[in-house]
Structure 1
Amino acid sequence: MSKEIVILIGGPGTGKSTLIAALVAQGYCCYPEISREVTLEAQKQGVEQLFLEQPLLFSELLLEGRKKQFLDAQKEPHSMVFMDRGLPDVLAYLNYIGTDYPKEFDSLCKEFRYSKVFILPPWPEIYVQDQARYENFQQALQIQEHLITTYQTYGYQLLEVPKDTVDNRILFILDRI
């Protein structure tokens, strides 16, 4: 791979988006999480929780969006791109709810490979529920386990980011790239 495509993963409310925002503020090229965008767009169309009501449709939209992000990242002039979540996250969430998915989902995860995967641990002190994050903390813990299992299934080594200040978390990540 000619470019470092680094992803931050973790269950809901672990601080991924906060770290992405801080990396952007430091001048790094970053791609945001797109599930909130998909969820909020569905809510405008009267579907309160697309993932809960139509999990395969939601997942197809996410996979397509994350595939596009990956391809766009490859065209960036930057040597390194950070992303908030990756393609295997979609499968982890489907496994979490026990929904089968087409073989193409698996094929995409095998085809589009990330350089490094940093996982943020569940952190009850920073966890917040809102209109786009419906999971409670116990569910977030279960999702975390599915993320770990799914990424390991695809052969990724997960680097756990310690619970610390945003600046220290960023230093931890940058020191390991």
Structure 2
Amino acid sequence: MRNEYIVFTGGPGSGKSTVIKALRRLGHACSEEKGRRIIQEELERSGRALPWRDKTAFRDRMLDEELRAYGDHLRCEGLVYFDRGIVDVYGYSLLEGLEITAALRSACASHRYADRAFIFPPWEHIFTNDAERKQDFAEARRTHAAIGVRRLRVCVDRGSVRLGRGEGPIHLQGTRPALKARPASA
């Protein structure tokens, strides 16, 4: 069976990582978000590849990590869920006005994901800042507005999440409000 790589994308603090962690607990193949780990590593070693210090270096590390994650999951059968992907590195470059390098263009062309992605809208109720997430909620909204891929809906309503085109209810428990995912038609 051919791998089907499903990207969860959206601005910071919108619930992507919480859903990925829940899917992993249910036994699904998942790739966790790389940016937070990169920021933690760079802070520990007083590095420069931080979005507030050197956006290009941060972007380049993100690309390297996303390429590695893509390759690491080639042996997986069936669906693999990604908390962001190579396409997000491209989007980050556009959002921050960074050069779209030949390496980035090549990676986007040669590393394909499913033709649809889950786009998580800004969710103010769960949005928080911390040592790794310095963006404010307005930036989360700008990030969401800048995303322009074909969509599967992610609807947020009073602490529940409905993922479009689901195969039945998935009950998710997060660290913040309990998340309950259902098909968009529910």
Q: Which residue of 1 aligns with 2:81?
A: 82
C-alpha separation between the residues in 2 aligned to 1:145 and 1:110? Answer: 23
C-alpha separation between the residues in 2 aligned to 1:24 and 1:165? Answer: 24
Are residues 48 and 67 of structure 1, via their aligned partners in 2, closer, same or farther at CA, if it must alter by over 3 Å?
closer
C-alpha separation between the residues in 1 aligned to 2:131 and 2:161? Answer: 29
Residue pairs, 1:1-177, within 5 angstroms: 2-47=2-47, 50-76=50-76, 78-115=77-114, 116-146=116-146, 148-149=147-148, 152=149, 157-164=150-157, 168-169=161-162, 172=164, 174-175=166-167
| TM-score of the pair, normalised by structure 1 | 0.85
Q: Check the 8 A contact 1:14/1:122 in 2, yes or no.
A: yes
Q: What SS does structure 2 have at the residue aligned with 1:161?
A: strand
For structure 2, list consecutive stretches of 5 or more residues without a partner in the other structure: 168-182
Per the TM alignment, residue 52 of structure 1 is displaced from its structure 2 partner at its CA by: 2.1
Pick which of 56-65 and 99-108 moved more.
Answer: 99-108
**Which structure shows the higher helix fraction?**
1
Are residues 12 and 65 of structure 1, via their aligned partners in 2, closer, same or farther at CA, if it must alter by over 3 Å?
same
Are residues 114 and 165 of structure 1, via their aligned partners in 2, closer, same or farther at CA, if it must alter by over 3 Å?
farther
Give the percent of matched residue pairs that are identical in Structure 1 and Structure 2: 29
Task: Identify which of structures 1 and 2 has the higher relative contact order when contacts are C-alpha pairs closer than 8 Å and 6+ apart.
Answer: 1
User: What amino acid is aligned across from residue 29 of structure 1 in structure 2?
Assistant: A
Q: Check the 8 A contact 1:32/1:83 in 2, yes or no.
A: yes
C-alpha separation between the residues in 1 aligned to 2:59 and 2:27? Answer: 30
Q: Check the 8 A contact 1:22/1:166 in 2, yes or no.
A: no
- Equivalent pairs counted in the alignment come to 167
**Which structure shows the higher strand fraction?**
2
Q: Check the 8 A contact 1:11/1:143 in 2, yes or no.
A: yes
After superposition, the C-alpha distances for 1:71-118 in whole angstroms (9 at most, x for unaligned) are 111112x31111100111112122222222312212211211111311
For structure 1, list consecutive stretches of 5 or more residues without a partner in the other structure: none
Per the TM alignment, residue 169 of structure 1 is displaced from its structure 2 partner at its CA by: 3.2
C-alpha separation between the residues in 2 aligned to 1:29 and 1:142? Answer: 30
Per the TM alignment, residue 166 of structure 1 is displaced from its structure 2 partner at its CA by: 7.5
Alignment RMSD (CA, Å): 2.1
C-alpha separation between the residues in 2 aligned to 1:169 and 1:47? Answer: 39
Q: What SS does structure 2 have at the residue aligned with 1:107?
A: helix
C-alpha separation between the residues in 2 aligned to 1:111 and 1:62? Answer: 17
| TM-score of the pair, normalised by structure 2 | 0.81
